[in-house]
Amino acid sequence: MTKRPLPHSRPTLDDRDIAAVSKALSSGQVSMGPAVAAFEDRFARKLGVRQAAAVSSGTAALHLSLLALGVGKSDDVIIPTHVCTALLNAVNYVGARPVLADVDYADGNISAADVKKKLTRRTRAIIVPHLWGEPADLGALLKLGVPVVEDCAQATGALYKGKPVGTLGRIGVFSFYATKMLTTGEGGMVVANDQRLMKAVRDRLSYDHREDWQVRFNYKLSDLQAALGSSQLDRLDQFIERRRNLAAIYGEGLKGTGVTLPQGRAGSAGVAYRFVIKVGNAASFIKRAQAAGIQCERPLFRPLHRYLGLKGFPVSERLMQESVSVPIYPSLKDSDARSISRELRKLFDKPQARP
């Protein structure tokens, strides 16, 4: 195995990004300005959606989306338990009650069947992340008749039945954190075809020069960040292709080990944001992989039901026991992915500690 440990994830930056940010800096416009407008326009066109509003993070995008949908104190918002706390925070920001749903074992995405069981008259929205870059079961979820916020933080560029994720629900949110599909350092985007919703998002995302006063936020992206975003967006298709190639190398390299490989949903095209395999005992496997110089990690730090002290999410619990995330990012070389596969294969040959 190569001597330098390869990181689990890293941003993909090059001279084109540096040139784009330098140009923005030289213009003297460093806060929100024309580069943000251009980034929004390009992002909207890439997705084929009417409007896009750039914001300072994926969390801000979630918050503004819930506000735009009119979600408030007496409402429930259904979210999966098997996700980071950003969703739980956003629901709490608007004073609504988070209701957790379990997930599907195959891909870790929110279970439409469990969501259906948790619907009440108070349910005002469902936040549907496309976990690890794989589209969730949108067909079934959209049929439930509750507004869907598509959380595409991990899935920019993924397709569900040929259509870009983020454009199928009422509103779509994205994150451009350092290691996401494309980055602005920190940043995010809200997209929708509904102009009224987008007007509400834009109304709240900055506070200055208003005739009236109401609680508003400073969730703006800067021109420096947007310049980076546009430069990255130019290469999004290449990033996706690289990730898919690496996933194919891992798939081939780990065949026959007994490991469960990631499975996409029929009719959808994921973006291999994470390559999550299922093994008998993830904790022991990760320890042994790291000892061999491979930065495998748990894909999720802690599911939300554990934070809230809730029981009864057996699929998420099982995924926590078994899931291992293998390094994947566009700058990882094919040769690295092959040698990682070879090293991981060796771990399967050795007996594992019991969970």
Tokens of 104: 């599907």
Nearer to ligand PLP, 57 or 167 (CB): 57
270 binds ligand PLP (CB under 6 A): no
332 binds ligand PLP (CB under 6 A): no
Tokens of 59: 């969390």
Q: CA–CA separation, 205 vs 51, rounded Å?
A: 15
Binding mask 5-44 vs ligand PLP (x if CB under 6 A, - otherwise)? ----------------------------------------
Tokens of 313: 């999410």
- Name the minimum Å distance from CB 71 to ligand PLP: 16
- Name the minimum Å distance from CB 75 to ligand PLP: 20
55 binds ligand PLP (CB under 6 A): no
> Residue 212: exposed, middle, or buried by beta-carbon count in 10 A (0-12, 13-18, 19+)?
exposed
Which residue shows structure tokens 């092959």? 338
Q: CA–CA separation, 99 vs 97, rounded Å?
A: 6
- Name the minimum Å distance from CB 348 to ligand PLP: 29
* C-alpha 236, offset from chain centre: 15
Nearer to ligand PLP, 49 or 84 (CB): 84
- Tell me 281's DSSP state: -
Which residue shows structure tokens 């959209």? 142
Nearer to ligand PLP, 175 or 341 (CB): 175
Nearer to ligand PLP, 51 or 154 (CB): 154
Beta strand 123-129 with 76-80 is parallel
b/e sequence 270-292, b meaning 16+ C-beta within 10 Å: bbbbbbbbbbebbeebbebbeee
User: In the window 57-96, what residues touch ligand PLP (CB under 6 A)?
Assistant: 57-59, 83-84, 86
Stretch of 107-115, 146-154, 274-282, 340-348 lying at the interface with ligand PLP (CB under 6 A)? 146-154
Nearer to ligand PLP, 39 or 253 (CB): 39
169 binds ligand PLP (CB under 6 A): no
- Name the minimum Å distance from CB 51 to ligand PLP: 20
222 binds ligand PLP (CB under 6 A): no
Binding mask 125-144 vs ligand PLP (x if CB under 6 A, - otherwise)? ----x---------------
**What is the distance between the terminal CA atoms of the chain, rounded to a whole angstrom?**
27
Q: Which residues pair with 99 in a beta bridge?
A: 78
Nearer to ligand PLP, 153 or 190 (CB): 153
Nearer to ligand PLP, 80 or 330 (CB): 80
Q: Are 241 and 334 in contact (CB under 8 A)?
A: no
List, edge to edge, every strand of the sheet that includes 76-80. Answer: 51-55, 188-192, 171-175, 148-151, 123-129, 76-80, 97-101
Helix/strand/coil for 187: coil
Judged by CB under 6 A, which of 39, 177, 285, 329 binds ligand PLP? 177
Q: Are 71 and 97 in contact (CB under 8 A)?
A: no
List, edge to edge, every strand of the sheet that includes 163-164. Answer: 163-164, 159-160, 268-269
Binding mask 180-199 vs ligand PLP (x if CB under 6 A, - otherwise)? --------x-----------
Stretch of 55-63, 206-214, 245-253, 262-270 lying at the interface with ligand PLP (CB under 6 A)? 55-63
Read off the amino acid at residue 348: F
Residue nearest to ligand PLP (CB): 58
Nearer to ligand PLP, 154 or 268 (CB): 154
Residues near ligand PLP (CB under 6 A) are: 57-59, 83-84, 86, 129, 151, 153-154, 175, 177, 188
